[in-house]
Structure 1
Amino acid sequence: MAEYLRLLEPIVSPAQLEKTKGIIKQFAAPNGLGPQLHQYLVEKRENEDNWAYYYWLNDMYMDVRLPLPINSNPGMVLPPRKFLVATDLARFSARVIFEIMKHKEMLLSGALEQERANSREKNQPLCMAQYYRLLGSCRRPGLERDSQYLPEEREEEHVIVICRNHMYCVPLKAPDREKLNVNEIASQLTFIIGDAPCMAEPPPVGILTSAPRGIWAKDRNTLLLEERNQRNIELIEQALIVLCIDEPLPGSFNSEGFFGSTPTMHRTGHRDETNMAHEMIHGGGSSFNTPNRWFDKTMQIIVCNDGTWGLCYEHSTSEGIAVIQLMEKIYKEIDTTPFDSTGSQQHLPSPERLEWVIAPEIARRFTLASKEANKMIDNLDFFVYRFKPYGKSFIKSCKVSPDVYIQLALQLAYFKIYGHLVTTYESASTRRFLLGRVDCIRSATTEALEWAKAMCQDEGANITLECDQGLEEPQDSRKVKFSIYSKDHLRELFRCAVARQTEIMVKNILGNGIDIPLLGLRESSREVTGSLHELFTDESYAIANCFLLSTSQVACSTNSFMGYGPVTPRGYGCSYNPHPDEIVFCISAFYASGDTSAARYGKSLKESLRIMRDLLED
């Protein structure tokens, strides 16, 4: 409770903080409900592998009713390929599938290497469960709560390929022998690439998976009334992966709103990285590739005929680290091993195209789902920004963790725009514990606020300045620059903010964060008393759990990146990937907010990183 009050200090009003102190005093008293709930969790811990896992999974994913694209599923862009003809796309996609088959075999053989912590109590073993959930898994919509389909070992293995909204089942083993080779898979994909354009336009069943979860659950139940549809959905959910063969989005797709000129955008051919990210996150809308998806599927690998490729992944089964490691392993293997075109190729039956039985109510839903998906996509304000002046090499020379440094830059950037800090989420891995996923590093600290105020001492009339020299803010609109704090004092405030951020980070990864215990107390309050204690209906709790800034470090060893949407209508999403000499940011907001702008935040972030270098470089 002491730590909870500490996190509230910079984000709630003094009056609200005093009210919450009174609630906590009553909750935490020896005869209060708090100790009783704590003991309930202690006993739960003794009887379960991980007392928090299902509380966390349901709160973070299964109970959320929002659509998966943008709101939940991240998109990853990998270094583009060069395709001259359709067979190039087929061969590359076949190699991706073949590497996934090899990875699955490695998992089944027990050869996956045990990972261990490389910092803070080094060498502790890390839970590897996430790595086994990626292939063959799927999220299933429910009317009130979703569920997961997790794979069992099966003799029959297949992938689902979606091309021009047509769905095909491609077996990965021949009836008379073991797995297909790359050439045989490529021949199956070549058939699909040639067949799909010749067929009548299919029902866009995939668009239904972009709907709010309760609505999609109803549509899925209607589809399942037909035996043929039951089999189709079973094939999709049990597939190793879904491969989406896409048409590229127009080069100008949603390209307005960037700050600066062309040099701020890293281009590959005729498409910038922001455009490619849109392709992976949501597909571009009902007229483009959004129906060419099955958003429930854990691994949707997307390959465009212009060489752009990456994936959209359903987040509930795994954090980004397992997905990124798998995708970069595939990329490096393909990039370093020449394609062997000499492999034997036996005649195989053509892949089965899935046919759907569409009831009238489902036909009407296609139109509505398309409109809602387009509205959602048009609302996404997103771009990829490469900050090139410096990267983690300079940050390390300042004897600061790159992650801590960037988190403080994100706080400063927000403060420079709005004059205050907001509840901030950064994921912290808890894989040192069985079934551990993440807890929340809260970067909006009192120490960060004091530093940000001092750094912005000569900016904006909306920022209150504390000055012992009698200087007052100008009453007119002219911007008067003056200095209150010395560089040494600013550096000292920065070091205090770094120390606090580091302390919170270490507590989280060692299992001493507060968000999971708070969640446990909240859920045990429901289970023990049948209702929520006032602590969890208090306005402070709502503010503390409305993450207007949702962030994560998504480290890639290749020139890849991953991005996602905000988690609240008035918020920002920001992933970052620090390289030695640059930092890649994926910044998102919603146009409908009216008060947020990805470009404006990116511009403030650029300026914040610049003045932080000026503060620290000498």
Structure 2
Amino acid sequence: MAGIQRLVTAEHLRSNLRCLQVASSWRAFQSFRKSSTSSDYIQDSIVPTMHFQHSLPRLPIPKLSYTCRRYLKSQEPVLTPEVYAATKKIVQDFEKGEGNSLNSQLIAQNKRNKHTSYISGPWFDMYLESRASIVLNFNPYMAYKFDERPEYNDQLIRSSNIVVSAMRLMKTLREGKLEPEVYHLNPKKSDTESFRKIARWMPQSIAAYYAILNKAFPLDMSQYFRLFNSTRVPQIGRDELVTDDSGRHLLVVRNGHYYTFDVIDQDGSIVSPADIQANLQYILNDNTPRPDAPVGYLTAENRDVWANVRTKIVDTSENNAQVMKMIDSAVFCLCLDDTSPDGPEDMTRNMLYGDAAYRWFDKSFQIIVCKNGLMSVNFEHAWGDGVAVLRLFNETFKDMNERPAVSPSSQPSNTDPSQGVNRLTLDLEPGVSNAINTARDNYEAATSKLCIDAYQHMDFGKNFLKTCKISPDSVMQLSFQMAYLRMTGQVGATYESCSTAAFKHGRTETLRSATQETTRCSQAFLKDSSASLEEKRRLLQECSDIHNQLTKEAAMGQGWDRHLFALRTLAAKEGKTPAIFADPAYSFINHIILSTSTLSAPAVLAGGFAPVVPNGLGIGYTALDDSVGCNITSYPDSLNASDFVACLIDCWKDIQDVLSKTNKQ
């Protein structure tokens, strides 16, 4: 991770979150919490979870002149000199005219809405208004590493443990015991008990400023309340995010059937692990034939189509309405797959989409557990960012490994699971069944087009790059530019997401990693280049330096993408399209060929997402201590992913060769 904190997934999100909603959501949960035990929590922070939230600094609106300058800087490497000159004139006119007026409106609007950020509302709206399927277009996945104890990877053991750990996290979060999310720039000074003790007694109105003075940057946690009991409900024109934290039950999906059982009891405590294990075993042993029309396929449909069909389902009977309510309000969705993916491609296909009869893509997140113990999180991306999901991921992984609720020697309880497990059934009219069959055809047609390739390069990693004083992330981003240039002779529009969670309701900013520096360096590494070893080393350093600068700017809300997006949204509401947004160059740089995201977290085995355009690549990558790797997706209209990986490997070898030789000098 670089900067404040990097997203772990492709960037597809938005919503209008308010601290008031978070607070009221917590208060509702408190109403049924009566008692608790230490085993119900993953930690007990002396600093309340939301202690810093009230005083987080607001996301700044960059100066328009800076935004225009940065925009042109990003355009320069992807445009011809003639096209760039025309775009430069358009941008200059925009800055002096329409842009200045729109920016004044944006600043005034931001002053009226001090409870949130200027980007939160429109950024959420854009995604919730999208009518495209959320599968491939939005939902990414992250796979957990296997447990180092093979016997704990048994499907029943692992699924039982992840349920308990997730519930521990939920209770810890809602009762304010979860350690606040803080990026420690100087851990020796701020990641200490003394800092926490003082911070705890600081008034909430100044707590974040105290932390920042100590080089500790609290991160926005307003999205966390959407982790549990939340669903994206399809609506005509714009979907709705619904959270009902009165739900105490888990949703389990297997072979086209939907089951629920309580995981929180009436006193607010977590149901005993033995009972959870017994209920999951009962579901795994259920051999009820798969229904002819599994409803899960509808969650992968066009959102308007799904909205219409869902309305028909709900209106058919009171039973249907109650079933949909149970699905929507479940704490989360557990998918028990009957597959055992073997290898990176099988894993990505299963975890990124899989068999939709085993999925409910609308839930805030699904945890998928396969027969062989492979486990992942697949999450709906509209409600929030990777910061919240990564916290869920890391905390549950740590808890499962250090405090597993059940072990191979554990025995399920002697209670009758048939009394606690409810298999949901829907009354489906012929028209709905036909819609499901159509959705299944569309789903299979869309997912069958996806191409996948992956590679792990063991010859160097972060440790080596740090000895060279080169940013590992800059090397990864540079290698993508090199590979693309070698294959096409061009510079591709590139997207790397950077979190702005250091600000209240901050979301993300785009790090435009295709620069003049990466272009010059990529050209110097071409086979017919006459660049010397020393010249290549100097260019590598320049790429690292500019990448670090862009990372800092993006993390501090000083990129250009979100600012221009907000101005374009304001203009659209007035029925206007300023020339800068009608310029083909604006469309070109936002047609993301290389959509990239780092997956370098200790608990992550792999992760992935689909390309964001038909001729693009979805590049999930890792830079570990002693290796680098990538998981690349593509469509038939794009570059061949296998050829790109082969080219990428050559680029890594070339970069390593130069760094190794110059380090010895």
Task: Report the TM-score when normalising by structure 1.
Answer: 0.86
Q: Which residue of 1 is the match for residue 81 of structure 2?
A: 14
Q: Which residue of 1 is the match for residue 70 of structure 2?
A: 3
How far apart, in 1, do the equivalents of 2:294 and 2:411 lie?
Answer: 38
Q: Tell me by how many angstroms 1:119 deviates.
A: 4.3
Q: Tell me by how many angstroms 1:494 deviates.
A: 2.3
What one-letter code is carried by the residue in structure 2 that aligns with 1:186?
Q
Deviations 1:267-320 (A, max 9, x none): xxxx1132122111011xxxxx22211111111111112222212111122322
Q: Tell me by how many angstroms 1:532 deviates.
A: 1.8
Q: Which residue of 2 is the match for residue 113 of structure 1?
A: 179
How far apart, in 1, do the equivalents of 2:151 and 2:607 lie?
Answer: 28
Aligned with residue 337 of structure 1, among 403, 417, 435: 403
What one-letter code is carried by the residue in structure 1 that aligns with 2:356?
T
Aligned with residue 279 of structure 2, among 175, 178, 188: 188
Asked if 1:27 corresponds to 2:94, the answer is yes
Q: Tell me by how many angstroms 1:90 deviates.
A: 2.9
Q: Counterparts in 2 of 1:421-440, with a 5 A limit?
A: 421-440=491-510
Q: Which residue of 2 is the match for residue 386 of structure 1?
A: 456
How far apart, in 2, do the equivalents of 1:526 and 1:11 lie?
Answer: 26
Q: Counterparts in 2 of 1:459-470, with a 5 A limit?
A: none
What one-letter code is carried by the residue in structure 1 that aligns with 2:311?
N
Secondary structure of 1:18's match? helix
Question: Equivalent pairs: percent with the same residue?
Answer: 28
Task: Report the TM-score when normalising by structure 2.
Answer: 0.80
How far apart, in 2, do the equivalents of 1:296 and 1:559 lie?
Answer: 23
Aligned with residue 321 of structure 2, among 224, 230, 237: 230
Aligned with residue 170 of structure 1, among 246, 253, 261: 261
- 1:324/1:26 Cα in 2 relative to 1: closer, same or farther (>3 Å)? closer
- 1:41/1:333 Cα in 2 relative to 1: closer, same or farther (>3 Å)? same
Q: In the alignment, is the contact (CA less than 8 A) between 1:90 and 1:187 conserved in 2? A: no
Instruction: Indicate the larger mover: 34-43 or 69-78.
Output: 69-78
Asked if 1:609 corresponds to 2:655, the answer is no
How far apart, in 1, do the equivalents of 2:330 and 2:350 lie?
Answer: 22
Asked if 1:568 corresponds to 2:613, the answer is yes
Q: Tell me by how many angstroms 1:455 deviates.
A: 1.1
What one-letter code is carried by the residue in structure 2 that aligns with 1:237?
D
Q: In the alignment, is the contact (CA less than 8 A) between 1:320 and 1:554 conserved in 2? A: no
Q: Which residue of 2 is the match for residue 160 of structure 1?
A: 251
Asked if 1:132 corresponds to 2:197, the answer is no
Q: Counterparts in 2 of 1:352-367, with a 5 A limit?
A: 352-367=422-437
Asked if 1:398 corresponds to 2:444, the answer is no
Q: Which residue of 2 is the match for residue 73 of structure 1?
A: 139
Q: Which residue of 1 is the match for residue 101 of structure 2?
A: 36
How far apart, in 2, do the equivalents of 1:496 and 1:312 lie?
Answer: 37
- 1:177/1:316 Cα in 2 relative to 1: closer, same or farther (>3 Å)? closer
Instruction: Indicate the larger mover: 438-447 or 489-498.
Output: 489-498
Q: Counterparts in 2 of 1:528-607, with a 5 A limit?
A: 529-558=574-603, 560-591=605-636, 593=637, 595-607=638-650
Deviations 1:582-618 (A, max 9, x none): 1231111112x0x411111111111111100111123
Q: In the alignment, is the contact (CA less than 8 A) between 1:140 and 1:147 conserved in 2? A: yes
Asked if 1:324 corresponds to 2:390, the answer is yes
Q: Tell me by how many angstroms 1:175 deviates.
A: 5.5
Secondary structure of 1:436's match? coil
Q: In the alignment, is the contact (CA less than 8 A) between 1:207 and 1:292 conserved in 2? A: no
Asked if 1:501 corresponds to 2:547, the answer is yes
Q: In the alignment, is the contact (CA less than 8 A) between 1:82 and 1:307 conserved in 2? A: no
Q: Tell me by how many angstroms 1:144 deviates.
A: 2.2
Corresponding residue pairs, total: 560
Q: Which residue of 1 is the match for residue 333 of structure 2?
A: 242
Q: In the alignment, is the contact (CA less than 8 A) between 2:147 and 2:401 conserved in 1? A: no
Secondary structure of 2:465's match? helix
Q: Which residue of 2 is the match for residue 299 of structure 1?
A: 365
Q: Counterparts in 2 of 1:198-217, with a 5 A limit?
A: 198-199=288-289, 201=291, 203-217=293-307
Q: In the alignment, is the contact (CA less than 8 A) between 1:420 and 1:449 conserved in 2? A: no
Q: Which residue of 1 is the match for residue 353 of structure 2?
A: 282
Q: Which residue of 1 is the match for residue 216 of structure 2?
A: 123
How far apart, in 1, do the equivalents of 2:157 and 2:383 lie?
Answer: 29
Q: In the alignment, is the contact (CA less than 8 A) between 1:91 and 1:182 conserved in 2? A: no
How far apart, in 2, do the equivalents of 1:432 and 1:577 lie?
Answer: 24
- 1:45/1:314 Cα in 2 relative to 1: closer, same or farther (>3 Å)? same
- RMSD, aligned α-carbons: 2.4
Q: Which residue of 2 is the match for residue 56 of structure 1?
A: 123
How far apart, in 2, do the equivalents of 1:555 and 1:115 lie?
Answer: 18
How far apart, in 2, do the equivalents of 1:169 and 1:131 lie?
Answer: 23
What one-letter code is carried by the residue in structure 2 that aligns with 1:407?
Q
Q: Which residue of 2 is the match for residue 370 of structure 1?
A: 440
Q: Tell me by how many angstroms 1:107 deviates.
A: 0.7
Deviations 1:415-435 (A, max 9, x none): 111111111000011011111
How far apart, in 2, do the equivalents of 1:344 and 1:370 lie?
Answer: 38
- 1:490/1:551 Cα in 2 relative to 1: closer, same or farther (>3 Å)? same
- 1:107/1:457 Cα in 2 relative to 1: closer, same or farther (>3 Å)? same
Q: In the alignment, is the contact (CA less than 8 A) between 1:78 and 1:559 conserved in 2? A: yes
